[in-house]
A and B are shown apart, each in its own frame.
Chain A
Amino acid sequence: MTGLAATSGNDLTTADGVPLKVSLSRAQRRNKIKAVLLVAPLFLFLLVAFILPIFDMLLRSIDSAEVVTHMPNTVRAISTWNGEGVPEEAVFAAAAQDLAAGSRARTIGKVASRLNYEIGGMRSLIMKTARKAKKLESGPYKAALIGMDKRWAKTDVWQLIKRESGSYTLSYYLAAVDHKYAADGSIEAKPENLQIYVNLFFRTMWMSGLITLLALLLGYPVAFLLATLPMRQSNLLMILVLLPFWTSLLVRTTTWIAILQSQGVLNDLAVWAGLITDENRLQLIYNKTGTVIAMTHILLPFMVLPLYSVMKTIPPTYMRAARSLGATGFTAFRRVYFPQTLSGIGAGSILVFILSIGYYITPALVGGQSGRFITNFVAYHMQQSLNWGLAAAIGSLLLATVIVFYLLYNRLVGVDNMKLG
């Protein structure tokens, strides 16, 4: 009876009375430590080089500490203002003090840039006033500041300072989706001629979709050949598929320029063959066509390899079985082979699509004006306009899009089925 009790229920013990679960976890601890130590270097590297920068980027897209850090007195004084008319003397006094201090410490430029993102001209207003405020010794400050620049009498300038006096802001995200705060603090669309990002987002998405589709149409037969040809031919074909991988991205992209430009190889051949006249050379590059052609080529291996690895696991006997059961070659393919490659199609498509919407160099080089992707504007704001907050906001939206597609894929196909070569 006692023997039965010991083997039923949760309190199993080992021969010397230690609970089995305790004993098991003790035995596994050493293996766990080993596993952690093996993973640790890569994990630390990823943490420092990847995860932390992403969090920094996410923070930067909502960070708005410039005003509160460098104009602390103004922020405190303006908090009691009701937002109508012009603030009272105390706010002007605090502003004059902050501007003078900021000018001496050379930090006021950050505030000027930050506020200039929201209303054009704020940079010159702040910089000019700060320079003059250093010489200002006594009040009344209200009259003095308005005397320096009439814009200090405008309500929307002070409304802007009050709105951006918090540590965090949504204005970068609003800008990234072509919206802005109206003077009264409500959210409104930007004027139509200034709306660029939403259109760019959609253009990036549908062009990436097109590139994915083209890569699938071109890659599927190649992967099929790779998986079914005898070893010697398939190895040769594999080298051809991988060759682009071993060539510099820049070289591949500039090669497409040489081929596609209006005085390039393709147009020359078409003119020579009499397909088009010399005056009507096709514009194949520096537009959407150029981006689609070059990126389809560059991303093709990412479609072929997952397809190949899935097709490699499908024995040829399935097709033979289907044919012996009375199916024509096409029916056998459609009903037996194709369904088994769906996980490869899913893996390749999601990979190409995600890589594509984040692609930068190729659209920058061959896209011209119309073939640019959203990433080209991220780069522009990082390098040219130095509006890192906006760049971070666009980047975060891009990241969110990728995550949405990934989750969608996981729901539909299952990430477990994702095989990459």
Chain B
Amino acid sequence: MREPLTSEVPREQAFVRFSNVQKSYDGEILVVKGFNLDIASGEFITLLGPSGSGKTTCLMMMAGFETPTHGDILLNGEPINTVPPHKRGIGMVFQNYALFPHMSVSENLAFPLEVRKLSAAETDRKVKRALEMVRLEDFGDRRPAQLSGGQQQRVALARALVFEPEIVLMDEPLGALDKNLREEMQYEIKRIHEDLGVTMIYVTHDQSEALTMSDRIAVFNDGIVQQLASPAVLYEQPDNAFVASFIGENNRLIGDVIELTEDCCKVRMESGAIIEALPVNVSAAGTRSTLSLRPERVTINPEANGLPNLFEARVIEVIYLGDHLRTRVAVCGNDEFIIKIPNAQTHPVLTRGQIITVGWAREDCRALDA
């Protein structure tokens, strides 16, 4: 079993450290329960989780708008719990952008520089450079209301970066944009992150956004970090059932562990079928376990090449999705079992009601907590 929640950043390199941070608003419920996270300088970290999981609260504590009920937040080794927000020097992009409506784009960008008492020439120069960075050179005189959603988003980004903070926090910044624009902005943010080398802490509930942009992702649920890992590890090797189901599509098969060894466990379904799986988060034989299996890791009508799991399945539904066919089948008593078939030259043609054989490897099927 993997040690959960340990950071991959060596302690002495931690730029931002959340140390056992807890937060309660009403003294009855902990919205954040013991949050530990070490962030290296220049890293892109995403806090991912469903709404109400505590991720935004963590961001607000970092920005200084909320005070931790317990624990410390350290920046460069210094605790910042008592530092007011305006002295933390942290840039922030808000969900609704929070561009000041009574100021032009340039005035919005100049605001953080003016309150820092920079000279007018210096301010002009930095505003101009920030506008260039987000490719809005000609929009300086416009009011925020005269810009499109994507342009407002870019102004908000430029404003959070114009005073050259070492950390930028983003609270679901792309939530209000449509799909195409959102993808475009993801690359834009990623590009700026790489150009400037600034540390970014990004909050979202959109897993594809998190997978695209992040160096590491902390998956939140119920006030606890469920898993902290790189996108590939999160997807390929989820630690528990929540992470498996939250990141990407996932087939869940629930049954009882009947045999457990170092690298193999056998799990009996209610239908009587016995599946061989990789033990990840099971303690002993006799407990219940959720098996997690990615839809693209299922083979249809495999040749007899030694897959340990081979079962008969009945096709219920085939949906054409262009690049792949999404097929729902009934297998091992589960009729919500999804298989993704790539739309390749030689993909099998399936019809409703057809009986097929499906198979998968032991290492692709991860036995997790119930």
Contacts and interface: CB of A to CB of B under 8 A. Distances in A.
Contacts of A321: 92, 94, 98, 100
Interface of A, secondary structure class, is helix
Nearest to A319: B98
Nearest to B65: A320
B129 interface: no
Among B86, B90, B91, B160, the one with the most A-chain Cβ atoms within 10 Å of its Cβ is B86
B179 interface: no
A245 B63 CA distance: 42
Contact of A317 (B87, B96, B101, B116): B96
Nearest to B100: A336
Query: What's the interface size class on B, roughly?
Result: 20 to 34
Contacts of B163: 325-326
B92 A326 contact: no
Contact of A323 (B86, B91, B96): B86
B111 interface: yes
A328 interface: yes
B2 interface: no
Interface string A310-331: 0000010110111111111101
A327 B111 CA distance: 9
B103 to A, nearest CB: 8
A21 B160 CA distance: 51
Nearest to B102: A339
A324 B102 contact: no
A339 B63 CA distance: 25
Contacts of A376: none
A209 to B, nearest CB: 26
Nearest to A336: B100
Nearest to B87: A326
A417 to B, nearest CB: 12
A320 B100 contact: no
B67 to A, nearest CB: 14
Among A321, A322, A324, the one with the most B-chain Cβ atoms within 10 Å of its Cβ is A324
Interface in A285-330: 315, 317-318, 320-329
Contact of A327 (B88, B89, B115): B115
A325 B96 contact: no
Interface string B321-348: 0000000000000000000000000000
A147 B56 CA distance: 102
Interface string A328-343: 1101100110011000
Interface of B: 63-65, 84-92, 94-96, 98, 100-102, 111-112, 115-116, 159-160, 163, 169
5 contacts: A317-B95, A317-B96, A318-B98, A325-B86, A325-B112
